[in-house]
Chain A
Amino acid sequence: MSKWSLITKGFIKENPTFVLVLGMCPTLAVTTSAMNGLEMGLATMFVLLLSNIVISLISPIVPDKVHIPGYIVVIATFVTVLQLLMQAFVPAVYEELGLFIPLIVVNCIVLGRAEAFAGSHGAGESALDGIGIGLGFTVSLTLIGIVREALGSGAVFGWKFISGDGILAFIMAPGAFLVLGYLMVLFNKLAKK
């Protein structure tokens, strides 16, 4: 696989949200606005990139029987690093995303890539894989965020294009499921062509 396709596969072919359907919890929970989706995507990409690199380096020396706990400790370490960095430099974002930053530990995308890719590839390729899948995740989250923010509060990235309120339900829980469901329909329709 060429280096370029390692990065681009996350957008369509192996899109973590619409095709692999992984990491649903943050996808639904934090996408109340485009900005939140973007920030969550980047936070996940940070952990994914670093854990992919480290796991690809240590996987030859980790005994097979304990490789999953081993990977989880690596991932949890980077999540803790991310938590401390965010608390120090962007406390407002950290508060906004709340519980879902520590929950990156159990995001199946991260462990999934460790298991399916980083454990059996070199550090360079794993880094590119982390960037590719991370970007795909970020784009999907931002997209869902844009749709929900546009319908729910009549704005995109905080820029309001209608006065007054939008359809509030789209910012609340039901909107998350509905928007993701319909976007998946759209994705299926377009991808099948």
Chain B
Amino acid sequence: MEYFLIIVSAIFVNNIVLAQFLGICPFLGVSNRLSTAVGMSGAVCFVITLATVVTFLINHYLLVPLNLTFLQTISFILVIAALVQMVEIVLKKAAPALYQALGIFLPLITTNCAVLGVAITVVSKEFAFGGAASHLMNLGEATVYALATSLGYALAMILFAGIREHLAQSDVPKPFKGLPIALITVGIMAMAFLGFSGIV
């Protein structure tokens, strides 16, 4: 039951893009075409989940026992950068087709603040469970949270890319062209997602 709540809350109520404002740059940057949006979402799902598990373990078994939690930010970003690099190398060898499909998106994920954001969220009491945490997340909850959050990212990204493909063909007033109309569209999407608040 608790896992179910985490999943619904992370995908719909506290959607990472539309309610938490994480990972906006790639969200706006690669949502021009549906196919690239799907590729990016896949890569992000993979990296967020993997990075969260690894940084959680590092925090739990290394930083906390050694009283080094102030190094969280530095160590997490290095771990994420290294992980992305490793995933790239492994994919290149093991699944060249997938590697080709993800292309440039893989290295870009290092600077996607959603990855670092989720990694920091699950290890800190202030941010986990929307700030109302009675306890820190355990590994299971953290993994489920990371997976659900990245699914929420994929959902928002793919929906938005679908809308944007239509926007490209419509007649938009000149000052609105490009990003402004995209942002206004996201605003309306966010309003729709507000409808989910209160169900958890």
Contact = CB atoms under 8 A, between A and B. Distances in A.
B23 A185 contact: no
A99 B19 CA distance: 14
Interface stretch (B33-41, B55-63, B140-148, B180-188): B180-188
Interface stretch (B3-11, B67-75, B92-100, B161-169): B67-75
27 contacts: A22-B25, A25-B23, A72-B81, A76-B78, A80-B70, A80-B74, A98-B127, A99-B120, A103-B116, A105-B116, A106-B111, A108-B25, A169-B194, A172-B194, A173-B21, A173-B190, A174-B190, A176-B187, A177-B187, A178-B187, A180-B183, A181-B180, A181-B183, A186-B175, A188-B175, A189-B175, A192-B175
A106 B77 contact: yes
Nearest to B174: A188
A36 to B, nearest CB: 13
B146 to A, nearest CB: 15
A156 B18 CA distance: 25
B187 A185 contact: no
Given A105-B116, A178-B184, A185 B127 contact: no
B24 A102 contact: no
Contacts of B193: 173
A118 B28 CA distance: 27
Contact of A76 (B24, B28, B73, B120): B73
Interface in A103-161: 103, 105-108, 111
Given A83-B73, A103-B117, A106-B112, A181 B81 contact: no
A25 B113 contact: yes
Given A69-B81, A73-B74, A181 B181 contact: yes
A81 to B, nearest CB: 10
Nearest to A105: B77
Nearest to B191: A174
Contacts of A21: 28, 179
Interface string A10-42: 000000000001101110110000000000000
A99 B22 CA distance: 10
Contacts of B121: 99
A172 B70 CA distance: 31
Contacts of A175: 187
A84 interface: yes
B25 A173 contact: no
B7 to A, nearest CB: 20
Contacts of B20: 29
Given A181-B179, A181-B181, 11 more contacts: A25-B21, A76-B77, A83-B70, A102-B72, A102-B73, A103-B117, A111-B111, A169-B194, A172-B194, A176-B190, A185-B175
